[in-house]
Structure formats: C-alpha cells, structure tokens
Chain A
Amino acid sequence: MDFLGFLVTECLNALSQAALLFFLGVGLTLIFGIMRIVNFAHGAFFMLGAYVGYTAVSVTGNFWVALIAAPLLVGGFGVAFELGILRQLYRRDHSAFLMVTFGLTLIMGEAIRLLWGVAALQVPAPKSLSGIVFILDEPFPIYRLFLICAGIVVAIGIWQFLERTRLGLLIRATAQNAEMVHALGTDVRLVRSAVFGIGCGLAGIGGVLAAPLVTASLGMAPNAVIDTFVIVIIGGMGSFAGSLIGALLVAFVQVFGTYYFPDLALALMYLVMLTVLVVRPGGLLGKEA
C-alpha cells in the first residue's frame, strides 16, 4: 500500500466516521441550543434507532424502509417524551434534566434488553451497498462512501432548513431569545417539541446507519454518548457548524491518532477537547461562557 493510497483511504475512513458522529452531535447541539438542556439520553435514542432498524429490516427485508421508519419512530418517541415529561420540568433547576434524561437512558436500555434480548443483532447493509470499490488499488467499502454522502446530504439539509424555512427561523430565534419569540405570538413550546423530536430522529438515523458496522447491541448507548459530548463540547454547545467541525476533528484525530499512536487512541480525543477548552472555554464556535 503506497502512502497516497493510505492517506486517501484513511481520510475516507475518517469522513465516514465523522458522518456517523455528526448525526449524533448535531441533534444534541440543536436540543441544547433551544432548550439549554443536556440530553443524556441521546445515546439511548441512537441505540433505539439501531434496534428499530433491525426490526424494520427483518420484517420488510428492506434497509431503506428501516432508514425511514427509525427516525420517524425514534423522533416520535422523543416528542412524546418531551410532551409528557420534559415539559413539566422547564421551570426547574438544570439538574432535574440531568436526572430525568439519565434515568431515561437506563430505562430505555432495560426496555430494549427486554424487548430485543441481550444478544447483538445483525443488520445487514443493503446488497447494493455491500460491495467494494478500488480507490488507488485499495479496496474500500461502498457502504462507507454511502455514509459520507448521507452525512453531506443531511448536513446541507439541516443547514438549509435552519436558514430558509419558517420553522428554521423560529428555531434560530428561539435559541437567541425565547421570550421575545413568545411575545411575538409563537408558541415556543411547540418549537421545543419539534426540535427535541428532530434531534432524536437524527440520532435514530445515526443508529440505523451505524448498525451494519457495529451490529445492534446494548453497548451502543454508552459508547455513543461519550463521543457525542466530546464533539459538542469541542464545537461549542448549541452551534450547528460547531458540531460539524467537532465531528470531523474527533474522527480525524481518532483515525490518525489510532494509526500513529495506538497506545494513546483513547486519550487523544480528550487531549483535543482539553486543549480547546483551555483556549476557548465555550468551544470552537460556542459563545464564550
């Protein structure tokens, strides 16, 4: 394997990983931007996405159905949770959200264990995507190229949605000054529910997309939630572009860090986070705390 081939393959690997991380990070950051809460259950929504995806694939035999069903169901569950429980807590202290969302993680983990069992479940990639292509004589999975494309499409989609649609405008306005939006006659509570649902739905898509790589398993939630927090902290809480940059940075550091310094594989990501926090305490694109 020559150096150019190595570099290109590893960059593509990092991009595909960044795409998965972005699906998680962007949801978490949107929710934080609007609601000022840290959703500890985000990893659990990601995991739920993978399990719903498994069921959809095994019932219909079609991965694309899973890709549509999972975000809808997971997002719907997120909205229900916001309406039923979170809404009662907005007047409370922030620690209430930590407790409730952390509790939800535990409950979802156990519920998934009861419904789907403990064994890891296979979610095969669709036939059309499970082949390989040769890039500079190196075999590269088509599925990972698909992940990169999906990441780009969703990133552009969210960006355009935030910039050009009325709901996007309301989301940005609510993030800046919720009281003013409310005073202007918009029901801020509906905006919050919508954002929570969208954030969870994105985590759900991430879960389905990750499942062919890691299988649907109970370890998904804790693994995902830590990476997601790192991304959002690096990028800046509440910043859309920040979550994109955070995902790319974490993915590249993980891929190249693991290659050159395998013994520090785990530490490098946190070193980057610490450096960012020392230089810019609010994250790269976040508001200064």
Chain B
Amino acid sequence: MNTRTGFTRRTAIRAGLAAVAAPALLRYARGETPIKIGMPLALTGPAGEIGLQMRHGAEFWAKQVNTKGGLTGRQIELHVEDTAGDPATCVRKAQLVVERDNCHLLFGMVLSSEALAVVPKLADWNTIFMSSDNGDGRLTGSSFVPNFFRANISGPMETRAISLWLRKADFKKFYALGMDYAWGHNSIDVFSDEVKKAKKDLVGTVFSPIGTTDFSTYITKIRQSGADACFLVLQGDDNNAFLSQAHEYRLSDKVQLITSIVDLNSIRAVGDAAIGLAGSTRYVFTIDNPANKAFVAEWRKEYNALPDVFEGEQYQACQMLQAGIEKANSIDADKLRPALETAAIDSIKGHVAMRACDHQAVQGGYIVKVEKVAGAKLPVPQIIATLPGDEVTPACRQMTFDS
C-alpha cells in the first residue's frame, strides 16, 4: 500500500479551499465587509467620455488599494451606474446604489446639474458624496449640504486661476464664449467679474446652445470684436467642433484662445488644431512632483497610456476619501464627516487640504499651454504657471472674489 494514501486529492482540494476562504472568512468574522462606493456616472450621451475617465480613475485606485490589503483592512467595491447625463436619472441611480447596494459613499457625478439634483437627498440617505468633477460654485455655496465634499477644483476656482494669470499677461480686450447652460453661465459670470477687477475690457459675451455643430458665426463674432484673447467655456463635442473650426479660420493667429479646461481627449480629437490653446487644467500628467511622477509611472505600466484630466482628478478625490476613512477608521457618515473636514493629502497636484467651512478642497491652479513637442505625435500641455491654493480658493461658501 502506498504510504501517501491518507493525503487524497479530495483533502488537497479541501485544504486549498480552506486556505483561499480563510482570509475572507476571517474578515467576515471580524465584521469587515467591503467598503461599497456608489458611482452614478454619465457613461453614455455627450458627457460619456468624462464618465468613463472617472470610472477608470476610480478603478485604478481601487485596484491599487485592494492589492495592498484594502483600506483599513477592507476591500473597495465600486458600484457604477449609467445616468446618461440626465439629472432625474442620476437621482434615481444614486438612490438605487444607496438602497439596493447599500453604498453610503458616493463618487461621481459628471454634470453639475446631476450633482445639484442629488445633494438635497444626502442627509436622508446618510451618505457622504465626494465629488471629483463637479464645477458649479453653488455646490460649496448656496446649495451646500454637510454630506457633500468637493476634492476637485471648482469652476469659479479654475476661472480665478486664469484671471490671476491674465492680470499679469499682456492681453487687454477679451471676448467670452460659453455653452448655454449652468456651467457656462456660472464660469463666464466669474470671468467677467475678474476682468473688471483686472481693469481690462470684456468686449462681448455669447452663449452657444449645447450641441452646436457650426461655430463659423461665433468665430466671426470673435474676430469682429477686436479682442486679443477669447475665453472659452466649452466641452465635449462642442469644444472639439469649435477648436477644429477656429483652426480652419486661423483664429488663433489673431486671438489667443483661452479655455477653462485643457484635456487630452480633446487634443487627441482635434490634433494640431489645439496648438497654442492656453488655459487652466484640473490635472495634467506633466505636473512636476514626486506623487504625480509615481502615479503617471504606475498608470503607464497598468494601461500603457497617459492619465487624462478626469482620471487624475478622480484619483485625487479617491485619495482624499481614503485619507478621511483612514483617519476616522470608519465609513459611517457621522464619524467620517469630521475626519474629512480636516483631511489633507500630498496629492498628485501637490498639497490639497479640505476646508471645514464649505467642504471645498484648497488646491493650486495650473495654467498650461498646448505646444508641439519634438518627437511627440500629439501636442502636449506644458505648465506655464502655477497659482497657489490660497489665492484661487474663494472665501467660504462664496463663488466670487473680493479683489
């Protein structure tokens, strides 16, 4: 008889299963259920590209945390739902992840109109929402709720960064073109305020309906205005159409185009038409600090690509939430809220600190200019100015700046 018969295949399988199941069972025994985070995102529709980037950024972070043994020993679990960019759908999907999936933490959302529709419900749901993208100043102003936190730079802050940069720049006369909805109007209001303070001229403003495909008339208006710089608040397809057509008319020969968002997807879509475009960016892979270098290196290893704006912003928001959870050692809204209010991280965008009074993360603003770099197929956004966080962040719950 074989001496090893005691160790049959069946016992081996049992032992194997036990070994695999043991950590999970142990965690379960200690009450360590996964940390569930709901992400209602516009994955389809005109804003779908941004939603996909945000999901990508969050997935990257979750994988990174989970392979290192989780957050406070618990695994991260993302529950992503498509909202198609519709506020009503977004509220429904947010409710779904909260009630069905039992997520009491939310990431997202793509459009400010979606976030504005969701925030009034957060208290009832006992849920913390860490925004990584929403720009509307009202979210940390008139529509502020205690369970909302904004890790990203807001629309008014981006505009402020540009205006501070413009004060020092040579431009005298400005024109502004924005998309005809909350974000466009909000950003241009702030910009117009800033231009006045800089004692320069805003010679004209125009809003284009969402989904505009022909910008020739807007380009004519900009040319006729005699402005030496034009401020753009456009995104997605509208932004790509405008840049392609502005290039057709050689608009940037006469007018410096300044945009509130420079992102890689848009550069990919319009190619050389993006050259010369200046603007603030929420995140760019060329930011020079150790945290960002490590992030970009790891991102490249994982996806063989460069991280884009909303991937970076999402990652920063994830790290902010992580810092809060580590500090509170809990995801319960009442314990997490005070921890987040004083959370600070050395993020990929430098030092970022949450502010207790309106839950806006104080952070620096970056100004980039899209340039052709020898050897690179596509133009690259290069940082031309960095503005400190205390200068670009408005006073608590404000959207405008006094000076």
Interfacial residues, chain A to chain B (CB-CB below 8 A): 1, 6, 9-10, 13, 16-17, 113, 118-122, 124, 130, 132, 139-141, 143-144, 210, 212-215, 217-220, 222-224, 254-256, 258-259, 262-263, 265-266
Contact = CB atoms under 8 A, between A and B. Distances in A.
B92 to A, nearest CB: 20
Contact of B207 (A13, A118, A120, A262): A262
Interface stretch (B104-112, B143-151, B237-245, B357-365): B237-245
B236 interface: yes
Nearest to A124: B271
Contacts of A210: 213
B49 A119 contact: yes
Given A9-B220, A143-B248, A219-B236, A213 B268 contact: no
26 contacts: A1-B224, A13-B216, A113-B44, A119-B49, A119-B269, A120-B236, A120-B237, A122-B271, A132-B248, A132-B250, A139-B250, A140-B249, A144-B216, A213-B245, A214-B237, A215-B237, A215-B240, A218-B46, A219-B236, A223-B237, A255-B214, A258-B217, A258-B218, A259-B220, A262-B207, A262-B221
B249 A141 contact: yes
Contacts of B265: 119-120
Given A213-B245, A213-B248, 8 more contacts: A1-B220, A13-B220, A120-B49, A139-B250, A210-B213, A214-B244, A223-B211, A265-B212
A6 B237 contact: no
Nearest to B248: A141
Interface in B29-66: 44, 46, 48-49, 52
Interface residues of B, number: 35
Contact of A132 (B48, B218, B236, B249): B249
A223 B210 CA distance: 10
Given A122-B268, A122-B269, A223 B209 contact: no
A121 B44 CA distance: 16
B209 A265 contact: yes
Contact of A17 (B216, B223, B250, B271): B216
A13 B240 CA distance: 18
Nearest to A227: B213
A212 B269 contact: no
B382 interface: no
Given A215-B269, A223-B213, A144 B237 contact: no
B237 A265 contact: no
B270 A214 contact: no
A116 to B, nearest CB: 12
Contacts of B224: 1, 6
A118 B49 contact: yes
B208 interface: yes
B396 interface: no
A36 to B, nearest CB: 29
B373 to A, nearest CB: 18
Contacts of B207: 262-263
